[in-house]
Structure 1
Amino acid sequence: MKFDASQFDNLELENIGQWPAAAKLILAVFLAIVIGFLGYMGLISDQMKQLDRVFYEETTLKESYRAKYHVAANLDLFRAQMVEAEDTFANQLRSLPNSHEIPGLLDDITFVGTTSGLDFVKLEWQPEISKEIYIELPIDIEVIGPYHSFGQFVSKIAGLPRIVTLHDFKISISQSDSEILNLKLQAKTYRYQEEAAK
């Protein structure tokens, strides 16, 4: 079959039966492509999207299963860790002063300072600072004394049975005696916020 472009010049849609074989073949291939494309778009692409969604859901479910299997397989270990964490939390709570012990804490700090060889210039509570699950109780402290007494003081504060942290250290030399230093700092203790636990 020879290809002659002139045979396509006078083609009319009303007279398809009279078209040359090459033109009919081209039309048939074109229609097959259009029908195939429309069929793909109408039927297969929706199925492909659904298949992708199902594969994604399967992957998600498998990951969820693995995580739950890991928890179930180690459930006794997790329970033991939970009991241990609760015990640790309870011990930490016991280290926090309750509202009845807070006034005695000033006495403890005063005793620690004086037995370390320091003289108190200032020891006063500051306003409470409410945090998420605890209340911060700052205490401004100013003491004077020799350098080594400061070390003893800090060491003894760390040894108190209740949690007390020290912040914002400022050390300066006394104007009257170069052997005597002035220490300003803020001690903080903490109280559990009962309402936050509920």
Structure 2
Amino acid sequence: MDLNELRNLDFQTIGLTSLGTRLVIFTFVFILIVGAVIYFDTMPQKEMLERSQNEEQTLLQTVDRKQRLAANLEAYEAQIEEMETRFGELLRQLPNKREAENLIDNVAETSLSNGLTNEQIRPGEETLHDFYAEMTYYLTLRGTYEELTDFISDAANLPRIVTLHNPAIKPNEDVTDDGPRKLSMKIEAKTYRYLERDEQGGGQ
């Protein structure tokens, strides 16, 4: 192969060049063609194949997840049914409006049955929620420590839902030397009632 021949190559007379020169030219052209095919055809197809493989994995994971959900569907439905049953039981513990207004009387009677003195029972504002209303009462009770703790325990066991909040106990100002020392307790009692159909949707 003559290097001068390559430098002075004329494509119009390429057929007259030596065999070595023609082989070099053929090899160069072949490499260009193969490179162009790889760049413009093979590489895009490889990228498409990788994207398709990734999409396939995503679809397989989605199918697997849905199959597991379908396999557990009966268990989920049973759990929902159980939750609805429990929810209904809780709703039945909520009094209606008339019963809720009398519920604080049960709390007062519980305090008296434990030997306490009701110094004050003051109703607060009613707070409306999605399907129930929260009614707060502020109580001031007087009695011994044991009587106060017995009241808290008995109030928590009332058949209707009553919750007690923010107890504050201090010595009673009227101190006497006879008998157990009396204490004064301020506490919030919250009762809950189920909203009537015409009241629902007006929660705060």
Q: TM-score of the superposition, structure 2-length normalised? A: 0.77
Offset at 1:52? 2.7
The CA RMSD measured in Å over matched residues stands at 2.9
Q: Counterpart amino acid of 1:180?
A: K
Query: Which secondary structure state, in structure 2, belongs to the residue aligned with residue 128 of structure 1?
Result: strand
Unpaired runs of at least 5, structure 2: none
1:123 aligned partner: 121
Which has the larger displacement, 152-161 or 79-88?
Answer: 79-88
% same residue: 24
Pair 1:146–1:27, CA change in 2 (3 A): same
Instruction: Give me the whole-angstrom Cα distance separating, in 1, the residues matched to 2:54 and 2:118.
Output: 74
Query: Which secondary structure state, in structure 1, belongs to the residue aligned with residue 170 of structure 2?
Result: strand
Offset at 1:183? 0.6
The 5 Å alignment of 1:145-184 reads 145-177=143-175, 179-184=181-186
Instruction: Give me the whole-angstrom Cα distance separating, in 2, the residues matched to 1:160 and 1:140.
Output: 18
- How big is each residue's C-alpha offset from its partner over 1:15-72, in whole Å with a ceiling of 9 and x where there is no partner? 693582335423422331222121024444334423432332232123212211232x
Aligned residue pairs total 189
Query: Which secondary structure state, in structure 2, belongs to the residue aligned with residue 126 of structure 1?
Result: strand
8 Å contact kept, 1:8–1:23: no
Offset at 1:153? 0.8
1:46 aligned partner: 48
1:10 aligned partner: 7
The structure with higher relative contact order (CA 8 Å, sep 6+) is 2
Q: TM-score of the superposition, structure 1-length normalised? A: 0.79
Query: Which secondary structure state, in structure 2, belongs to the residue aligned with residue 97 of structure 1?
Result: coil
- How big is each residue's C-alpha offset from its partner over 1:85-109, in whole Å with a ceiling of 9 and x where there is no partner? 3332222112112111112112111
Offset at 1:161? 1.1
**Are 1:84 and 2:86 counterparts?**
no
Unpaired runs of at least 5, structure 1: none
Query: Which secondary structure state, in structure 1, belongs to the residue aligned with residue 98 of structure 2?
Result: coil
